[in-house]
Amino acid sequence: MDSSTRIHDFARRYTAAWCSQDPAAVAAHFCVDGSLQVNEGTPANGRDAIAAVAQSFMAAFPDLVVRMDNLLLEPNGLVYRWTLTGTANGRSVDISGFEEWDLGADGLIARSLGHFDAAEYQRQVDGSPKPPRYLNEAAVRARLRMPALIEAMERALIEFSAGRVVQPVRTVLQYGEAHGLFGVMPTYIPSLPALGAKMVTVCHANATLGLGTHQALIVMLDPATGVAQAILDGRLITEMRTAAVSAVSARHLARPDARVLGILGSGVQARSHVQALRLVRDFDEVRVWSPNAERLRLFAAETGCRAMPNAETVVRGADVVVVVTPSPTPVVQSDWVAPGTHVIAVGSCLPTQRELDPALVARARLIVDSRAAALREAGDVVMAIAEGHFTANHIVAELGELPKRQSAAEITVFKSLGLAVEDLFAAHLVLAE
């Protein structure tokens, strides 16, 4: 038997000794004057002291199981990696660690330095809640992929419109001299299951500071206990899930032969919409316009879109039009929009703002993400109703009802406000990776 095989066999016997409920069996694997030190504590010197350490673990865990995960030969000695499982005080414990071994001439352990996360071990023994995970934007970006997100958003919308989600219309308050917005969006989704909320701010002055105008956090809670499980940076999730929802609308409502995409805006939402919509329709041309000439130039150069001189030249002849600007007044006029166009309105989220000519909304087939939210928050709906252009019955469907285009000539408008169910489905997707 070569030395490597002997050492591995020794390590396996050592592991079995820890599972034997016989402290002396553990101590027998140490030299007579061997030592065991755990987490830089006081060393246990000699077999009797080592047996006492083993006895304390065995007494604490009557069902103690130790598994050898690996045995590595390092330049300075052997590293024995292990996982301990068992039940202490009715609490399940699952903790991993390692021991650095120096072997004596007799092949037994002369010195062992043990290491494990004592705080995590104590937390498990005490039954304390596990601290929530935090995923920053980079971690979210590494895990979130647009094709999977589009499918998740369709499922989220179906669950919402089927009434299988508990979710109020979001609470939004304006604050400060700059009239920033702060929204709180809670929801409970039994099918995942998931419980949590998004907190989002909109501060347009951030653009002058080099910061995103939309900032967000998503908090995920254990549905059974309410204990916080994870906190995710929500800015990127908001950006991507909004575009993914728009892609769901285009998949069901844009003409199959749609070839020209028009985008009004050049911010992060415009960028994500280019990515998402290209996954559901094969566009030959993507046009873009933004009132900020320099941003428009950079956006066109980076995305391969065609920069246009004004909004009208983007919209006329486009098969799909996306409005992602912060303008509080209409930027798309009705007579620019040809029959058969699918219009996606994303930019405004207050009842005092609108981005579409009310005559356009009146002549179109109107779909929303949430009837309740649209009748309370969407200026394109609320203001048009107040002015007598149409009634609440003009909303023909929620997107989660999966409405279909009825003819090649009809104009469809999807008014997107954004729903907490979308954020939690997206966060759930991130945490599953």
pLDDT of residue 347: 86
Where among 126, 142, 176 does a domain terminate? 126
CATH number, domain of 347, equals: 3.40.50.720
Q: Are residues 248 and 232 part of one domain?
A: no
Asked if 392 and 264 sit in the same domain, the reply is: yes
155 and 93 assigned to the same domain? no
3-class DSSP string for 29-51 = CEEEEEEEEECCCCCEECHHHHH
How many Å apart are CA 198 and CA 145, to the nearest integer? Answer: 20
Residue-level pLDDT at 374: 96
Regions in the chain scoring below 50 on pLDDT: none
For residue 332, the 8-state DSSP code is: B
- Could you tell me if 346 and 369 lie in one domain? yes
Say if residue 118 is in the same domain as residue 147.
Answer: no
CATH classification at residue 178: 3.30.1780.10
Does 205 lie in the same domain as 76?
no
- Start-end of H helices in 233-341: 235-253, 268-277, 293-303, 311-315
Residue 91 and residue 181 in one domain = no
Pull the structure tokens for residue 303. Answer: 């995305």
182 and 84 in one domain?
A: no
CATH number reported for the structural domain that contains residue 89 in this entry:
3.10.450.50
Based on the fold, state whether residues 410 and 310 are members of the same structural domain: yes
pLDDT digits (tens, 9 = 90+) for 314-367: 999 999 999 998 788 999 999 999 999 999 999 888 899 999 999 999 999 999
Which neighbouring-strand residues pair with 321?
Answer: 262, 343
- The amino acid present at 416, given as its one-letter code, is S
Domain boundary among 96, 126, 156: 126
Average pLDDT in the chain: 94
Backbone phi, then psi, for 257, in 5-degree steps? -95, 15
State whether the Cα torsion 120-124-125-128 is positive or negative: positive
Range of the domain at 145: 133-237+424-432
Query: 158 and 64 in one domain?
Result: no
**Cβ neighbours of residue 154 closer than 8 Å, sequence gap 6 or more:** 248, 402
Among 126, 149, 183, the domain-final residue is: 126
Q: How many CB atoms lie within 10 A of CB 359?
A: 15
pLDDT of residue 1: 56
Residues 205 and 228 occupy one common structural domain? yes
Comparing C-alpha atoms, which of 324, 254, 322, 315 is closest to residue 282? 254
Amino acid letter, residue 412:
T
One domain for residues 207 and 91: no
Cis check for the bond before 131: say yes or no (omega within 30 of 0).
no
- Please give the backbone phi and psi of residue 320, each rounded to the nearest 5 degrees, phi first: -130, 130
Question: How many structural domains are present in the chain?
Answer: 3
